[in-house]
A and B are shown apart, each in its own frame.
Chain A
Amino acid sequence: MDEELLIGLLRVFIPLSFLSIGGGGTILAEMAHQTVDIHHWLTQREFVDLFAITRAAPGPGMLIVTLIGWKVAGALGALVATLALFVPSSLLFCAATVLWQRFSGSPWRVTIERGLAPIAVGLIFAGAYAVLEATQGGLLAFATAGVSATVLMWRPVHPLLLLCAAASIYGVVLPHF
Chain B
Amino acid sequence: MEHCTRRGAIARYCKPAMVSRADCTSYWLARPSRQMSRMTPRPSPEPVSLPLIALVFSRIGVLSFGGGLIAWMHREAVEARRWLNDQEFLSGLAICQVLPGGNMVNMSLYLGVRLRGALGAMTAIIGLVGLPILIVIAIAAVYAKFDTLRSLHLVLDGIAAAAVGMNITTGIKAARRNSRALAPIAIAGSVFAAVGIFHWPMLAVVAGLAPLSIALAWRSRHG
Q: Contact residues of A with B, CB < 8 Å?
A: 17-24, 26, 49-50, 52-63, 66-67, 70, 78, 82, 86, 88-90, 92-94, 96-98, 100-101, 107, 111-132, 134-137, 140-142, 144-153, 156, 158-160, 162-163, 165-167, 169-171, 174-175
Contacts and interface: CB of A to CB of B under 8 A. Distances in A.
A118 B213 contact: yes
Given A59-B64, A120-B174, A167-B159, A67 B128 contact: no
Interface string B152-189: 01111111111111111111101100110001110111
Contacts of A162: 162, 165-166
Contacts of A134: 160
Contacts of B63: 58, 159-160
Contacts of B94: 113, 116-117, 119-120, 123
Given A58-B135, A145-B162, A113 B157 contact: no
Interface stretch (B1-9, B10-18, B19-27, B65-73): B65-73
B158 A170 contact: yes
Contacts of B167: 124, 127-128, 131
A116 B97 CA distance: 10
B48 interface: no
Nearest 10 interchain pairs by C-beta? A59-B132, A148-B165, A122-B191, A170-B158, A115-B214, A126-B196, A89-B101, A166-B162, A116-B94, A113-B91
A135 to B, nearest CB: 4
Given A60-B102, A101-B113, A122-B192, A165 B171 contact: no
Given A111-B218, A121-B171, A100 B95 contact: yes
Contact of B132 (A18, A58, A92): A58
Contacts of B170: 124
Contacts, number: 355
Contacts of B136: 53-54, 57-59, 63, 66-67
Contact of B192 (A17, A97, A129, A145): A129
B90 A116 contact: yes
A77 to B, nearest CB: 12
Given A58-B132, A152-B165, A121 B188 contact: yes
A58 B64 contact: yes
Given A53-B136, A55-B66, A175 B151 contact: yes
Contacts of A123: 93-94, 97, 191-192, 195, 202, 206
Contacts of A89: 99-102, 105-106
B156 to A, nearest CB: 4
Contacts of B190: 122
Contacts of A119: 94, 97, 187-188, 191, 206, 209-210, 213
B79 to A, nearest CB: 10
